[in-house]
Structure 1
Amino acid sequence: MLLETHRLVLRRFRAEDAAPLAAYRSDPSVARYQSWTPPVSLDTAARIVRALAEGSLEEPGWFQYAIELKADRCLVGDIGVRLHENRMQAEIGFTLAGDRQGLGYAAEAAGAVLDDLFERRELHRVSAECDARNTRSARLLRRLGFVQEGLFRQATWIKGEWTDDLVFGLLSSDRQPSCG
């Protein structure tokens, strides 16, 4: 376990996470605004899980937390942190299984990660981007205290179309610790 909230454990990925990861990443509604195309095979998920399990939380680059429900020890999503080379700022992104959305799990997990980044690791800034059509993610980022800093028009070519990207930022001086 790396982080814990009232309902969640944020931990490293492990081999048994391949099947649930394949399931939620194969859901077209979950993949809609993400970089991958469903379905995600069990073999592909196993490779992803092996790579994620080897990530370093303390080194620059991406680290992906597995989001597990305490109640049933079920993997329900993941949240990634890309630590900048200067170790003073990071980017976050999150994915949650479709049947677990709208229950506050993403906000709870992201709040715990932000608390860790700002309080324990003393980062100055955290940023996030999302497809401008992904109103639920944009709304969640705003609820977490992020400020929309920009709109990159037709900035990403993904899944055969140009998409607009919303850019968000949160400074340590603006952060209110979560109650998770």
Structure 2
Amino acid sequence: MRLTTERMVLRPFTAADAPALAAYRSDPDVARYQGWEAPFSLAQAEEFVRELAAADPTAPGWYQFAVEVDGVLVGDVGVGLHENRMQADLGYTLATAHQGRGYAAEAVGRLLEYLFEVRGLHRVSAECDARNVRSARLLSRLGFRQEGHRVQATWLKGEWTDDLLFGLLTVEWFARTP
């Protein structure tokens, strides 16, 4: 399954993506607010890609799309489809060299369009580390409402972190002003 925009393609990962995946996930700035540790080895990236090759993007569970711009892997966006197939969580990662160009907003926006307009989901949720101001702003720009702030709720990389919780309903998606 491929999702396209004017500038990018969201597509399944391939074995050829493993080196670039390992490189951007090894960047301490990229990994800072994520659940994995840097460095992210080539072997980890190869295993990740193998697991995704066996996954069904339409089935419940997590699925990551590769985000490609001009033939270059610049990041990934993931969707965790709930067992009821009516709601999902999402996440995103973008290589540092490709941040600040609107790629994350474009990729997440395209994924939301697919989830709401094609798959007919009722709700999409996201959460981020409260210190990740850029991520929180991105979610707000895309129409998400902040629904909560969990104080010292996650033990991550040797410290307690606060979580910001966001939600977006299908009626809100269709009511937004493009």
Tell me which interval the TM-score lies in, with the shorter structure as reference length: over 0.9
Distance in 1 (alpha carbons) for counterparts of 2:67 and 2:89: 17
Match of 1:105 among 103, 106, 118: 103
Match of 1:128 in 2: 126
Q: CA deviation at 1:155?
A: 0.6
Deviation at 1:63, TM superposition (A): 0.7
Q: AA paired with 2:19?
A: A
TM-score, normalised to structure 2, is 0.96
Q: Distance in 1 between matches of 2:169 and 2:152?
A: 26
- Whether contact under 8 Å (1:2, 1:9) holds in the other structure is yes
Q: Which residue of 2 aligns with 1:33?
A: 33
Deviation at 1:152?
0.8
Counterpart in the other structure of 1:86 = 84
Partner of 1:162: 160
Structure 2, unpaired ranges of 5+: none
Rate the CA distance shift 1:178–1:27 in 2: closer, same or farther, 3 A: farther
Which 4+ residue blocks in structure 1 deviate beyond 2 angstroms? 176-179
Partner of 2:140: helix, strand, or coil?
helix
Q: Who is 1:142 aligned against? A: 140
- Residue in 2 that maps onto 1:118: 116
Cα distance in 1 for partners of 2:26, 2:52 equals 18
Q: Which residue of 1 aligns with 2:43?
A: 43
* Structure 1 equivalent of residue 67 of structure 2: 67
Contact 1:151-1:165 within 8 A present in 2 as well: yes
- Describe the superposition over 1:119-145 as per-residue Cα deviations: whole angstroms up to 9, x where unpaired: 001100000000000000000000000
1:11 is matched with which residue? 11
Q: Quick check: 1:115–1:178 contact (8 Å CA) kept in 2?
A: no
Query: What corresponds to 1:172 in structure 2?
Result: 170
Distance 1:66 1:55 in 2: 14
SS at 2:161 equivalent:
strand
Alpha-carbon displacement from aligned partner over 1:90-109 (angstroms, at most 9, x marks no partner): 00000000010110000000
Distance 2:152 2:78 in 1: 24
**3-state secondary structure, aligned to 1:175:** helix
What is the TM-score when the length of structure 1 is the normalising length?
0.95
Question: What's the Cα RMSD here?
Answer: 1.3
Q: Name the SS of the counterpart of 1:165 in structure 2.
A: strand
1:53, distance to aligned residue in structure 2 (A): 2.2
| Percent of matched pairs sharing the same residue | 63
